[in-house]
Amino acid sequence: MALTTYVEAIRQGIWEEMEKDERVFVLGEDVGIYGGAFKVTAGMLERFGEWRIIDTPISESGIVGAAIGAALMGMRPVAEMQFADFISCAFDQITNFAAKCRYRWGAGVPIVVRGPSGGGVHGGPFHSQNPEMYYVHTPGLKVVCPATAYDAKGLIKAAIRDPDPVIYFEHKFLYRRVKEELPSDDFVVPIGKAAIRRTGSDMTVVTYGAMVYIALEAAKELEKEGIDLEILDLRSLLPFDKEAVLDSVRKTNKVILLHEDTRIGGFAGELAAIISEEAFEYLDGPIRRITAPDTPVPYSPPLEEFFLPKASDIVRVARELYAY
């Protein structure tokens, strides 16, 4: 069986849902003739036509506004943000309308807003952000961050089928670096369920997105020293699998919270509070956070390398925590 890249997995997932359900359509900048900035929609215009693969003006608020209107009329829009950073231009449409429709008058808004997020590709401060927490803080939304090709496909399919708005952040650094064999049959990954990527006994690393691979790299290094990490991939941030987090912490008694997003207001802070409230008596050491610093993402490659969490950061913190 051939290996499927992360970006191809997303393309396959959207394609299969469009084949299955004629209500599904894609809209966004350059998604048609050009096939998308990262080629997620390559070939779709030829297969599905211009009524289902719609090139739009450069207006994220217009893209999401049109998607919401179509969803309220019974369609299943997939709105592409060329870079996830520009989802902020549609913030009002997403948070003040799509997220609140079901609460206000019982109307579901089954849209998917997807976009490439994250750093590591020297994209600078406007093409490298991790904006997930703005949306995690908004009741009525779902927010997913797949780390594997399997999850990328399974979560995009679950997102398209969901009756409410889903924000789908795909990490651009993983697009063509991550590959795996995918099942030939139809499958979805349920939103809100975490996955253990490595079982361990000495401490838990809770993470998501591209940081899963950084954690696995650190685990290999630490294994040589007899330090056994358990790595939990959240996969979904809203809702998130609280029980999986608490079960792992109760098992290992020490925890590192890792994400590429900046520190203040990041998901690690929320996790730390929940662990302190619900599993404090199981902890044998302080909760440790590893995140990006509170600055914009640098463009300079050496500065970006310094900015992003690295395996060496995890190794250092894990050694300190193991010795505590």
Model confidence pLDDT, tens digit, residues 209-223: 999 999 999 999 999
Domain CATH for 157: 3.40.50.970
Model confidence pLDDT, tens digit, residues 192-204: 999 999 999 999 9
Does a structural domain hold residue 190? no
What confidence score (pLDDT) does residue 104 get? Answer: 95
Does a structural domain hold residue 186? no
Does a structural domain hold residue 41? yes
Kindly report the average pLDDT of the chain as a whole number.
97
What confidence score (pLDDT) does residue 3 get? Answer: 96
What confidence score (pLDDT) does residue 1 get? Answer: 67
Model confidence pLDDT, tens digit, residues 163-208: 999 999 999 999 999 999 999 999 999 999 999 999 999 999 999 9
What confidence score (pLDDT) does residue 156 get? Answer: 98
What confidence score (pLDDT) does residue 60 get? Answer: 98
Residues 243 and 119 grouped into a single domain: no
What confidence score (pLDDT) does residue 269 get? Answer: 98
Does a structural domain hold residue 187? no
Residues 50 and 175 grouped into a single domain: yes
Residues 306 and 238 grouped into a single domain: yes
Residues 132 and 165 grouped into a single domain: yes
What confidence score (pLDDT) does residue 174 get? Answer: 98
Structure tokens at 292: 């990006």
Residues 110 and 206 grouped into a single domain: no
Is residue 127 annotated as a catalytic residue, yes or no? yes
Residues 24 and 169 grouped into a single domain: yes
Residues 89 and 229 grouped into a single domain: no
List of residues 6+ apart from 16 with CB closer than 8 A:
157, 186
Domain CATH for 308: 3.40.50.920
User: Domains in the chain: how many in total?
Assistant: 2
Are the CB atoms for 79 and 31 separated by under 8 Å? no
Confidence of residue 66 (pLDDT cuts 50, 70, 90): very high
Confidence of residue 57 (pLDDT cuts 50, 70, 90): very high
Model confidence pLDDT, tens digit, residues 82-122: 999 999 999 999 999 999 999 999 999 999 999 999 999 99
- SS3 category, 22: coil
Model confidence pLDDT, tens digit, residues 222-261: 999 999 999 999 999 999 999 999 999 999 999 999 999 9
Does a structural domain hold residue 47? yes
Residues 207 and 136 grouped into a single domain: no
Residues 215 and 96 grouped into a single domain: no
* Domain-ending residue, one of 180, 210, 241: 180
Are the CB atoms for 142 and 166 separated by under 8 Å? yes
In whole angstroms, give the CA distance from residue 10 to residue 169. Answer: 11
- SS3 category, 170: strand
Does a structural domain hold residue 248? yes
22, pLDDT greater than 70:
yes
123, pLDDT greater than 80:
yes
List of residues 6+ apart from 78 with CB closer than 8 A:
14, 24, 25, 26, 27, 111, 112, 114, 160
* Domain-ending residue, one of 126, 148, 180: 180
Does a structural domain hold residue 275? yes
Range of the domain at 78: 4-180
Residues 144 and 263 grouped into a single domain: no
In whole angstroms, give the CA distance from residue 32 to residue 109. Answer: 24
Residues 45 and 172 grouped into a single domain: yes
* Domain-ending residue, one of 180, 204, 233: 180
Does a structural domain hold residue 138? yes
What confidence score (pLDDT) does residue 278 get? Answer: 98
Residues 145 and 203 grouped into a single domain: no
Model confidence pLDDT, tens digit, residues 286-300: 999 999 999 999 999
